[in-house]
Structures are given as C-alpha cells and as structure tokens.
Structure 1
Amino acid sequence: MLKRLLILAAPLLILAGAAHAAEKSGEKTKEVGQYVDLQPVALPLVFDGRLVNYVFVYVRVNLRNGADVIKIREKEPAFRDALVRAGHRTPFTVPGSWERVDEAKLSAAMAPAASVIAGAGNMTSVVVTSQAPQKRAMPPRPAVPTHP
C-alpha cells in the first residue's frame, strides 16, 4: 500500500520540487496582460468600387495593468461597432491581396475609438490576432473600359 502511494505521489513531488527551485532562483512568471477579445467581425474588401470578398478578423484590445477589465469587457459590442464602422468607411484592403486585411491600417484606425470606449488611458494597443477570408478569391479583373 505504501509503495503504491509513493508511486502515485512521485509526479507531484517532482513538480513541486521544480516549482520550488524556480521560485528560489528568482525567476518571475510572465504576467498575463489584460485585454478584451472581440467576437469575429466580417470586414469588406473593395477593389475599384466593387465588393470582392469579406475577411473575418479577430481583434484584441490590449489594456493597461490596473484597468477595470470586467467593466471594459462589457463594452465589447461597442468595440465591434466601431470596428465595423471603420471598416466600411475605409476598407482595409491590401493592394494585390483579396484574402486579408491591412493589419497596421486597421489598428491605426481602430485605436482612437477603442481608447474612447475603454476610457482615458486604459487602452494600450489594438492587434489583429487572426483573419480568415470568406472565400478564396482570385484578384478581380480590371473593369473593361467602354468605348463611346
């Protein structure tokens, strides 16, 4: 019975020893940042005034430490609304690609609105964590000019 108990407890003792050694050596565990993950949003990609595709983007709004995350997460629909409005005002189309959005342009456009929604000084950045096109699309052909 004692032998069986020692065999079952051995993995726990090994893990506890490793954790104790890490604590002793002064290693700091990496802190998990505070953030709000938005539900996926479909943003249009437009070429020559024509809708060519939608891309589903997953966006994370990073918050400063000490921000009231629970209160700010309740505002997630407002963040999504701001993202949809920005994406329809000026589509984040990457020239030559009809399957992805311009992440830098999206972040720059979304940051001011996210800062207002989160409250002064609570937002640190907006990042695109993932994106997926609605359909695999070949670049559209340029519009054929009509001759009078």
Structure 2
Amino acid sequence: MKQALLILGFVLFTLPAFAAAPEKSGKSKAHGNRYQAGFTLESPEEEAEPPEDNGRGVEIPTLVVPVFEDGRLLNYVFVSVRLQVADGVDPWKVRGRTHYVRDAMIRAAHKQSLGADGNGRALDREKAAKVWMATANETLGGESITGIHFLTVDSRS
C-alpha cells in the first residue's frame, strides 16, 4: 500500500512537467532562447603593459562592470586592475581592505556607465581609472592610491 501511494505521489508530482513539454514538430512560432556569446579579450597592443609590480601594487580580483546607455544594459566587461599604493601607506593594510575597495568600485560602476563613447560595448579606461581611483581613495581615506593599471579587460556581449 505504501509503495502504491509513493508511486502515485511521484506520478502526480511529475505529471505537470510532462504536460508542459514543448511541441516536437519544429513548427513552433515561439522564439527560442538562443544567445550568441562573443569574447573580445583585448590584446596587449591596445594599451601598454602595466609596469612591473614593485611591491606596492595591490591587485583587485576581477570586477564585473555593466556597460549601459540610456538605462539599457548593453554589455558586461570583466576587468582586473592593480592599484598603485602611495609611498607612506602600508600596502598590507590596503590588501586587508581589498574587499571593501572592490565593492565600492563595483557600486561606482553601477551608478554611471563606464562605456566608451561611440562604442557602448567597450570600457572607457580613462573614465574608469578616474572614477575608481577616486572611489578607492574615498574608501581607504586620504590619497592612498596614486594610480590604477589595467591587467585584463574582457568584453562579453
């Protein structure tokens, strides 16, 4: 008896999934959910290689940056950066606060688009560096960061 109830419960539970299965004829007029993903990892020739880390650089884990225009999302850009810590500031203290800096940088990127004018799918590096440096200094206090170097920029659409 218990087995029969268990089987009946299983059948009743899975029945809606089979009833909602799409038609197999291939003549459905509904649009599919097919997307094409393009990866455009920028080559090093597009910007000079970042300088060697002199022990005062702090790398920020990959930032996922939305690029939008007129409130409409166009793209995501995956960016890795290295912060150059100012002389007189302990890089280890900055490393200990990296998660706060990263969070503030992502929030800043969501408040205003960091997309390049004319090419809304690419990152405007100058604009991003200016916004993120101000954000990092505000988060860490004072003039703790003197520069931002882009390690990788990967645009996905």
TM-score (norm 1): 0.63
1:90-123 Cα deviation digits (max 9, x unpaired): 0101123244211111111112221133342332
Q: In the alignment, which residue of structure 1 is the partner of 2:151?
A: 129
- In structure 1, the residue matched to 2:103 is 81
Mean Cα deviation higher: 97-106 or 117-126: 117-126
Aligned to 2:87: 65
Alpha-carbon distance in 2 for matches of 1:73, 1:39? 11
C-alpha contact (below 8 Å) 2:104/2:139 kept by paired residues:
no
1:92-103 paired onto structure 2 within 5 Å: 92-103=114-125
The one-letter code of the counterpart of 1:101 is: L
1:41-92 per-residue CA deviation (whole Å, 9 max, x = no partner) reads 1111113321111000112111123421111101111111111111110010
Q: Say which of 138, 142, 146 aligns to 1:120.
A: 142
Give the counterpart of 1:106 among 120, 128, 131: 128
CA distance in 1, matches of 2:92, 2:74: 38
Unaligned runs of 5+ in 2: 1-51
Amino acid across the alignment from 1:74: G
Q: Is the 8 A contact 1:33 1:65 kept in 2?
A: no
Distance verdict in 2 for CA 1:31–1:41, change over 3 Å: closer
SS in 2 for 1:38: strand
Question: Which runs of 4 or more aligned residues in structure 1 lie more than 4 Å from their structure 2 counterparts after TM superposition?
Answer: none
2: CA distance, partners of 1:79 / 1:53: 23
Matched residues, number: 106
Would the alpha carbon gap of residues 83 and 31 (structure 1) be closer, same or farther in structure 2, given more than 3 Å must change?
closer
- Contact 1:100 1:132 (C-alpha < 8 Å) held by counterparts: no
SS of the counterpart of 1:58? Answer: strand
Cα shift at 1:33: 4.7
Conserved? CA contact 1:54–1:133, under 8 Å: yes
What amino acid maps onto 1:116 in structure 2?
E
> 1:38/1:131 Cα in 2 relative to 1: closer, same or farther (>3 Å)?
same
CA distance in 2, matches of 1:106, 1:42: 13
Give per-residue Cα distances to partners, 1:12-53, cap 9 Å, x unaligned: xxxxxxxxxxxxxxxxxx982501110001111113321111
Query: How many percent identity over aligned positions?
Result: 28
Residue in structure 2 matched with residue 5 of structure 1 by the alignment: none
